[in-house]
Structure 1
Amino acid sequence: MASTILKRAITNHLSSSSSTTSRLILLRAHASEAQAQQVTPKASSTTSLKKFQIYRWNPDTPSKPELKEYEINLKECGPMVLDALIKIKNDIDPSLTFRRSCREGICGSCAMNIDGCNGLACLTKIPSEDSNTTITPLPHMFVIKDLVVDMTNFYNQYKSIEPWLKRKNPPEEKGKEILQSKKDRAKLDGMYECILCACCSTSCPSYWWNPESYLGPAALLHANR
Structure 2
Amino acid sequence: MSTPTLEKDPAGAPQDGGATAIEKITVTLRIRRYNPEVNPEPEWVDYQVETDPKERVLDVLHRVKWEQDGTLTFRRSCAHGICGSDAMRINGRNRLACKTLIKDVNPAKPITVEAIKGLPLLKDLVVDMEPFFQSYRDVMPFLITTGNEPTRERLQSSEDRERFDDTTKCILCAACTSSCPVFWTDGQYFGPAAIVNAHRFIFDSRDEGGEQRLEILNEKEGVWRCRTTFNCSEACPRGIEVTKAIQEVKRALITRRF
Superposition TM-score tier, normalisation by shorter sequence: 0.7 to 0.9
**1:217 is aligned to 2:192:** yes
Aligned length: 178
Question: What residue identity is the alignment partner of 1:121?
Answer: A
When residues 47 and 165 of structure 1 are mapped into structure 2, their CA distance, relative to the original with a 3 A threshold, is closer
Percent identity reads 40
Query: How far apart, CA to CA, are the structure 2 residues paired with 1:103 and 1:163?
Result: 25
When residues 131 and 109 of structure 1 are mapped into structure 2, their CA distance, relative to the original with a 3 A threshold, is same
Q: SS of 1:50's equivalent?
A: strand
> What is the match of residue 157 of structure 1?
135
Question: What residue identity is the alignment partner of 1:90?
Answer: W
**1:62 is aligned to 2:47:** no
Q: After TM superposition, list the pairs within 5 Å mapping 1:38-53 onto structure 2.
A: 47-53=24-30
Query: How far apart, CA to CA, are the structure 2 residues paired with 1:47 and 1:207?
Result: 40
* 1:110-163 superposed Cα distances (whole Å, 9 cap, x missing partner): 000000000100001112431100000001221110000011100000000111
Q: Unaligned 5+ residue runs, structure 1?
A: 1-43
1:112–1:138 CA contact under 8 A, matched in 2: yes
> What is the match of residue 106 of structure 1?
82
Question: What residue identity is the alignment partner of 1:184?
Answer: D
Query: How far apart, CA to CA, are the structure 2 residues paired with 1:112 and 1:174?
Result: 43
1:70–1:88 CA contact under 8 A, matched in 2: yes
When residues 154 and 177 of structure 1 are mapped into structure 2, their CA distance, relative to the original with a 3 A threshold, is same
Question: What residue identity is the alignment partner of 1:104?
Answer: H
1:92 aligns with one of 49, 61, 68 = 68
Query: How far apart, CA to CA, are the structure 2 residues paired with 1:111 and 1:145?
Result: 14
Query: How far apart, CA to CA, are the structure 2 residues paired with 1:223 and 1:46?
Result: 46
Q: After TM superposition, list the pairs within 5 Å mapping 1:115-134 onto structure 2.
A: 115-126=91-102, 127-134=105-112
> What is the match of residue 83 of structure 1?
59
Question: What residue identity is the alignment partner of 1:154?
Answer: F
When residues 82 and 164 of structure 1 are mapped into structure 2, their CA distance, relative to the original with a 3 A threshold, is same
1:187 aligns with one of 155, 163, 173 = 163
TM-score (norm 2): 0.65
Measured after TM superposition, the shift of residue 47 of structure 1 is 4.9
Query: How far apart, CA to CA, are the structure 1 residues paired with 2:168 and 2:62?
Result: 30
Which protein has the larger Cα radius of gyration, Structure 1 or Structure 2? Answer: 1
1:78–1:84 CA contact under 8 A, matched in 2: no
1:143 aligns with one of 115, 121, 124 = 121
TM-score (norm 1): 0.74
Larger mean Cα displacement after TM superposition, 104-113 or 56-65: 56-65
Query: How far apart, CA to CA, are the structure 1 residues paired with 2:36 and 2:136?
Result: 27
Question: What residue identity is the alignment partner of 2:143?
Answer: L
Query: How far apart, CA to CA, are the structure 1 residues paired with 2:174 and 2:23?
Result: 39
1:51–1:69 CA contact under 8 A, matched in 2: yes
Question: What residue identity is the alignment partner of 2:39?
Answer: P
> What is the match of residue 41 of structure 1?
none
Q: Which runs of 4+ in 1 moved over 6 A?
A: none
Q: SS of 1:122's equivalent?
A: helix
1:110–1:122 CA contact under 8 A, matched in 2: yes
Q: SS of 1:64's equivalent?
A: coil
Q: SS of 1:192's equivalent?
A: helix
Q: Unaligned 5+ residue runs, structure 2?
A: 1-20, 201-258
Q: SS of 2:89's equivalent?
A: strand
Measured after TM superposition, the shift of residue 63 of structure 1 is 3.1
Q: SS of 1:51's equivalent?
A: strand
